[in-house]
Amino acid sequence: MPPPTCLRCLPIRPAPSPRSVLLCHIALPPAQTASFSATTNLSAAVAKKRPNSHTGPPKRGVKALNIKKTQRIKSGRPPAPGERKALRKRIVLSNTNALEVQGMPDLSDKNVTDASLVCRVVGIPGLVVDSLRAVEAFKPTQGWGLFRRPAALVRKETLQLGRYIREVETAEDKKTIRRVVVGERGTKDLTIGHTEYGPLFNTNPTQYVQKTYTANLLSQISKANKAVLSKLQLFQQHDLPIPIQSNISLDRLADLGARDPDVAYPIFQALWAELTAPSTKGAVRPPILFTLDGINQIMRNSAYLSTDVKSIHAHDLALVRHFINALSGAQALPNGGIVLAATCESGKPPSSALELAVAQSEARMAGAEEVPQPHPYKAMDQRVLDSMRDVEVLRLKGLDKDEARGIMEYYAASGMLRERVDEGLVAEKWTLAGGGVVGELERGSVRMRI
């Protein structure tokens, strides 16, 4: 796999297929000065082969055959610890060689429910990009680094989420919306056994805390929500292992927990208690957006073992328990909020209970009389079924043709797709993407085709 640095050096024009019998229509973007041009290369005359003195066989005695193994160039400096991992996991969000799309609106709280934006691509504002980067919302396998700035396609489901946000903000009775997003392939770290864990005493059943992960989580919360948390202050009394000033702002509280893993969990509990305390005149608390990606990983036994050398169920991990309480409605969010979980399709561990729960939820939503029942002879994880009892499912299918056209026009306007975007091309890419699956559409249109 080529290193991420090579993505910038790649020619924009995709490699021509040897079987291609179709003509490529080059789309000229309206009146823009590109930072590079391929016109001179395309129209250059073929260079003549100049006969030089080296043509013909070598002189007698000259060694022409070199069959030694090619020596690897050993660079002097070995990479520092963590450098390779950083290079592997780094997120590039901008490609200066891509064109800037003129007239692209930005997604804001004002146009989040605007129906005229469906099938259009909107830019993500800079502050939001920083917050998303802090919570690791951008993945290295996604194509953010191919375009000038991060942007997203607005679909009908996007507007639906926008409506949820509006409802939560404007509802008088502090509504909580709990959803699971399910889709085709495109939280792992919590349950695969890669982070330290320890038991929480005086809990029954024993819960386990992952303090390093909690510290990291607090740091992300602080960075992503600095603008909001810096305006909120501590109002309750908390029994914490370290002394803190009584009116500390919540983002500084989170930073304290981020710095020291040993106090991370108590500080997390304190933060959570503050945020879920009902709003009063003096202490206004905003609604909370609580999300989790890869819910398949937590709907089963984790990779951790208890002292009895038995698998610890994922719901016995303290952080996971927090999320599950919020998702299932056991923990109410007094100030309203959205609890959103997303399944993962690639490399997912089997969880028959989750599949059943999703099927049951979809049947209920469709108003079917017969709801799928658990298999009578297979053991089903009852805890998982209980946690998903009243949760609705938002199924993301592939894009439809109009949405696919919208995103392909954005690719063409960015200069990454050099073909004319017409009905035929949209239909072809849509079908090759298995019915408009976004990741496959991007792979087929913009990335290297293999």
Partner 1 sequence: MKPSVLLRHVNGVSTALKCTHPPCKGRLFRPVASKLFSTTQHQRATESIAASPIDFDSFQSTQLSRDILRKVRVVPASPSYFTGKPDFTDNLLSLQALLRKYQTLPVVQPGHAPRIAWKTHAQYKVSVSEPVKAAKYGKIVQLLHRLNHIHPSLVPEEVLEALQLYKRDVNPYDNVAVLQTVDPYGRARGVGRRKTSTATVWLVEGEGEVLINGKSLSQAFGRIHDRESAIWALKATKRIGRYNVWALVRGGGITGQAEALTLAVAKALMVHEPALKPALRRAGCVTRDPRIVERKKPGKLKARKMPAWVKR
Using CB under 8 A as the criterion, which residues of the chain lie in contact with partner 1 when the complex forms?
21, 184, 398, 401, 423-424, 426-428, 430-435, 437, 440, 443-444, 449-450
Residue 372 or residue 435: which is nearer to partner 1 going by CB?
435
Q: How many residues does the chain have?
A: 450
Residue 417 or residue 433: which is nearer to partner 1 going by CB?
433
**Beta-sheet strands, E only, within 323-415:** 337-342, 392-396
Residue among 299, 317, 319 at smallest CA distance from 381: 299
CB of 257 within 8 A of CB of 218?
A: yes
Query: What sign for the dihedral angle of Cα 258, 263, 266, 271?
Result: negative
> CA–CA separation, 276 vs 279, rounded Å?
9
Residue 21 or residue 31: which is nearer to partner 1 going by CB?
21
Residue 31 or residue 450: which is nearer to partner 1 going by CB?
450
Q: Whole-number minimum distance, CB 408 to partner 1, in Å?
A: 14
Q: Whole-number minimum distance, CB 398 to partner 1, in Å?
A: 8
CA–chain centroid gap for 310, Å, is 32
Q: Whole-number minimum distance, CB 413 to partner 1, in Å?
A: 23
Determine the angle formed by the axes of helices 211-224 and 250-259, rounding to 10 degrees: 150
Residue 157 or residue 184: which is nearer to partner 1 going by CB?
184
Helix segments in 210-328, DSSP class H:
211-224, 226-229, 250-259, 264-275, 318-328
Q: Whole-number minimum distance, CB 1 to partner 1, in Å?
A: 15
CB of 271 within 8 A of CB of 263?
A: no
> CA–CA separation, 350 vs 297, rounded Å?
9
Residue 25 or residue 194: which is nearer to partner 1 going by CB?
25
Q: Whole-number minimum distance, CB 423 to partner 1, in Å?
A: 7
Q: Whole-number minimum distance, CB 186 to partner 1, in Å?
A: 10
Residue 122 or residue 408: which is nearer to partner 1 going by CB?
408
Q: Whole-number minimum distance, CB 444 to partner 1, in Å?
A: 6
Sheet holding 176-183, edge to edge: 288-293, 337-342, 176-183, 392-396
